[in-house]
Structure formats: structure tokens, C-alpha cells
């Protein structure tokens, strides 16, 4: 089965391009900088950005996504279509502590398709990391509730060649309103992780 949703392209790029700086002042749509609140109408999702975190610009998110597309195409040996992939809100404390969210239309063609697609994506991510000569561990996929909604979640741990832990990455995803919705949390310390996770688990969804 072909991979239908490519939302994790950005996930991979956040790690592979994490040392790049963001100098643009162009902020993502639907973000109110006065209140620090982001609202996605298509997802029905509202999140409050923690104080002292920098919002990732559309320019940087799109650049990361395009680079991710190139890496995945090299991995699978064919072109992929990311025209429906949309970068939602992203924010970061520094290069290695970043929150990013994406959506992509996903039309169910048969029962269980979305779940199968997620299994394939997880395998593709693992293979892509290892092809980049990264040592990696991954957790089992579990389900957590965010504002009463079930999200699939799992975590990657990335190590340096000497075995030292570099970064961890938590991924959450759910099919909602016809979109494959994903949240990615990258961190290398517990304090920054807590701020991002607290903001995420206190999200609100329109029922």
C-alpha cells in the first residue's frame, strides 16, 4: 500500500535541519500575538502558546517541508505529492526544543486505512533516520486523550555515534474533520518538554 499522508515529512526535517535559524517576521495564519492564542478553524483546535517561545514562521516551515520532501523521495525512490500538506502553528525555545503541527486531507477509502497508513509512516520515519546514520530507539504506539479526543502517540529517541542521547521526539496524530492532524514535540530537556506538553494537553477542540 502506498503511503497516503505525508505529515511526518516536517517531523524528520525538524531534526535534520534543527541548527538553522529563523530570521523572518512573517507569522503563521490564525495566530493572535496579543493573546498568544492560535486557532485552526478547519481542525476546530485552539492552543495557547507559552510565554517566551518564538512562533515559527510560514517561510521557515515551508522551507523545512520542502527539504523533507527531498529526503523522503530519496528514501523511497519516487516523487510524492505534498500539495495538501498544511503547516499549522509551530513554536520553539531554541534549535532542539520545538513544537510543530500539520494537517493534510485524508479521505477514507476502506476501513482501517488511516491506521495502516500510520504504521507505514512510523516504519518510514525509522528507516529514514537510520539511513541518515542516526542511532534510534522508538516506543510502542499508545492512545492518549486530549480534551476528550483519542490521539495515537509514540516517541523516538535519537543518539549520537558515541551513544549519547541527542534529542527526543513525541508524535501525536488523529483523523479529525477529514484531516490527518499531527503534533510533533522535539526536546532535549524536561523543563522545555513540560512547557510544550502542558500547552498541548490543555488544547481545546470544538465538538
Taking only the tens place, the pLDDT of each residue in 16-32 is 433 333 333 334 558 88
How does residue 142 score in pLDDT terms, banded at 50, 70 and 90? Answer: very high
CB 53 within 8 A of CB 93: yes
Residue 135 bridge partners (DSSP): 159
Which long-range contacts does 21-26 make (Cβ < 8 Å, 24+ apart)?
21/95, 22/54, 22/56, 22/57, 22/60, 22/92, 24/57, 24/59, 24/60, 25/57, 26/57, 26/58, 26/59
Tell me the average pLDDT across 165-177: 92
Mean confidence (pLDDT) of the chain: 80
Tell me the average pLDDT across 97-102: 91
Q: What is the CA radius of gyration of the chain?
A: 16
How does residue 12 score in pLDDT terms, banded at 50, 70 and 90? Answer: very low
CB 167 within 8 A of CB 186: yes
How does residue 13 score in pLDDT terms, banded at 50, 70 and 90? Answer: very low
Q: Map out the domains of the chain as residue ranges.
A: 9-205
Look at 48 and 104; give whichever has higher pLDDT.
48
Under CATH, which architecture does the 9-205 domain have?
A: 3-Layer(aba) Sandwich (3.40)
pLDDT at residue 7 in the model: 46
How does residue 77 score in pLDDT terms, banded at 50, 70 and 90? Answer: low
Amino acid at each position: 500500500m502506498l503511503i497516503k499522508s505525508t505529515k511526518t515529512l516536517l517531523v524528520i526535517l525538524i531534526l535534520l535541519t534543527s541548527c538553522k535559524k529563523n530570521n523572518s517576521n512573517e507569522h503563521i495564519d490564525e495566530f493572535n500575538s496579543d493573546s498568544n492564542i492560535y486557532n485552526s478553524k478547519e481542525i476546530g483546535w485552539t492552543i495557547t502558546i507559552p510565554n517566551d517561545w518564538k512562533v515559527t514562521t510560514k517561510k521557515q516551515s515551508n522551507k523545512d517541508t520542502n527539504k523533507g520532501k527531498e529526503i523522503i523521495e530519496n528514501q523511497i525512490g519516487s516523487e510524492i505529492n505534498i500539495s495538501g500538506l498544511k503547516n499549522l502553528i509551530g513554536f520553539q525555545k531554541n534549535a532542539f526544543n520545538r513544537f510543530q503541527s500539520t494537517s493534510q486531507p485524508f479521505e477514507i477509502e476502506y476501513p482501517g486505512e488511516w491506521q495502516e497508513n500510520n504504521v507505514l509512516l512510523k516504519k518510514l520515519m525509522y528507516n529514514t533516520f537510520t539511513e541518515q546514520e542516526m542511532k534510534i530507539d522508538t516506543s510502542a504506539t499508545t492512545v492518549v486523550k486530549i480534551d476528550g479526543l483519542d490521539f495515537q502517540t509514540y516517541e523516538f529517541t535519537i543518539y549520537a555515534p558515541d551513544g549519547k542521547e541527542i534529542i527526543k521526539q513525541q508524535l501525536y496524530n488523529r483523523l479529525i474533520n477529514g484531516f490527518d492532524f499531527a503534533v510533533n514535540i522535539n526536546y532535549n530537556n524536561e523543563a522545555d518538554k513540560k512547557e510544550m506538553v502542558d500547552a498541548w494537553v490543555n488544547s481545546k477542540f470544538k465538538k
